[in-house]
Amino acid sequence: MHRRPRRPIARAWAHVVTYALVLALVDVAIAHGHHGHHESDHHDHGADWTGGDAARAVLASTIVSLASLAACACIAARFVTGVEASARALSDLANGAMLGDALGHQLPSALAGGDARAAAMWCVVGVLAFQGLESLILEMKASANATRGTRTRAGRGVSRDASRGPSRSRSTARAKRGSAMTAIADALTARDIATSGWLNLFADAVHNLTDGVIIAVAFARRGRAAGWATARAALLHELPQEIGDYGVLRHAGFTDIQALGFNLLSALVAVVATALTFIFLACVGASSPVVGVSAAAVSAAVEAFCAGGFLTVALGALTEDVRAHGFTRSTVVRVLVGVRVAL
């Protein structure tokens, strides 16, 4: 009787515990870095936000998300399935955009918005988290493939078991019902999807989380005009990024429908983050000093974390591409174009 190995689950828990300890150390470092420094009061003392501000912020996040998805859908409509060069081109552009975003926007923003030591720690945590996530994904894929092979061998004996009596048929039926628990894993690993695709999705979701919080705080603390201006800036920034991410997913092995669907789920993280931010603001008050300090600290930490994740994903994807196809001049040009677009 074959049993699924428990090592991937144990290692997953080890990753979770390790990250929890690292995050605790980071919190200590942040507290130590801010101890002894006076906090400048940059927040305004205007009126609290209204329900209309919350509705407009959620609408703005939704527009940004749907606009990015619509652009990806247009690319998908023109995309010729099986044309590897097109997927590689979009993937190189996206990798360049992630590098430019991490080094040109996220790290400088984190350094300007918080303590430099805390930003450096969060960037390292982002690198370690994405490396651990990659290891976890590889282990899960290996476990799912091993389980599928075991069920395939068991399936070959179904007809023989049926002829030997009802007891073995019932045991085979129970095995089939148990295998339904891994149906989702089978669907996701049926195609040879590269790990870089899953890492890109996670990085994009964390980045969208940041955008949702920033849009919500802009509407709540600085008013309608500033909120829409922030949403427009997020849209202009996200549009090329999402198109490039679609290329990464296609290059990683996702189908058009899968790439669009996962892009939609990732984009909706911004909408959820906006709504949750207003729930938090409803508890503490938008004009409270806690909001200004917390928003700045959280934004700086998430920006640094995203920068570390983006660097890990982009450099890892470029390494895989160079190993598979060689280091070509066209790759360099596309990556540099992606960097320039992000900047």
Q: Cα torsion at 58, 63, 68, 74 (round to 10°)? A: 150
Distance, CA of 81 to CA of 277 (rounded, Å):
40
Determine the pLDDT at residue 308: 87
Distance, CA of 343 to CA of 70 (rounded, Å):
23
Determine the pLDDT at residue 272: 92
Chain-centre distance of CA 262, in angstroms? Answer: 10
Neighbouring CB atoms inside 10 A of 15's CB total 18
Determine the pLDDT at residue 271: 92
CB 314 within 8 A of CB 342: no
pLDDT digits (tens, 9 = 90+) for 223-278: 888 888 888 877 877 777 777 777 778 777 888 788 888 888 888 898 998 998 88
Determine the pLDDT at residue 181: 43
- Report H helices in the chain: 7-34, 51-78, 84-101, 107-113, 116-155, 158-164, 166-179, 183-189, 195-222, 224-252, 256-284, 289-325, 329-342
Determine the pLDDT at residue 7: 54
CB 299 within 8 A of CB 305: no
For helices 224-252 and 329-342, what crossing angle results, to 10°? 160
C-alpha separations of 52 from 55, 181, 219, 275 in Å: 5, 44, 10, 13
Determine the pLDDT at residue 40: 42
Residues of the chain with pLDDT under 50: 1-6, 10, 13, 17, 20, 24, 28, 31, 35-47, 80-83, 158, 162, 167, 169-170, 173, 175-178, 180-181, 184
Determine the pLDDT at residue 8: 53
CB 215 within 8 A of CB 274: yes
CB 62 within 8 A of CB 275: no
Determine the pLDDT at residue 145: 62
Q: Which of these, 150, 159, 290, 151, lies nearest to 217 by C-alpha position?
A: 290
Determine the pLDDT at residue 178: 47
Residues 6+ apart with CB under 8 A from 11: 135, 136, 139
CB 343 within 8 A of CB 138: no
Distance, CA of 218 to CA of 49 (rounded, Å):
10
Determine the pLDDT at residue 264: 85
Distance, CA of 178 to CA of 70 (rounded, Å):
39
Determine the pLDDT at residue 295: 62
Tokens of 22: 């690292």
Neighbouring CB atoms inside 10 A of 165's CB total 9
Tokens of 72: 């990806």
Distance, CA of 54 to CA of 56 (rounded, Å):
5
Determine the pLDDT at residue 96: 85
Task: Compute the C-alpha angle 197/77/89, nearest 5°.
Answer: 45
**Strand (E) or helix (H) holding 114:** none
Task: Compute the C-alpha angle 256/205/53, nearest 5°.
Answer: 115
pLDDT digits (tens, 9 = 90+) for 73-111: 776 665 544 445 566 777 788 788 888 888 888 888 888
Please name the amino acid found at residue 286. A
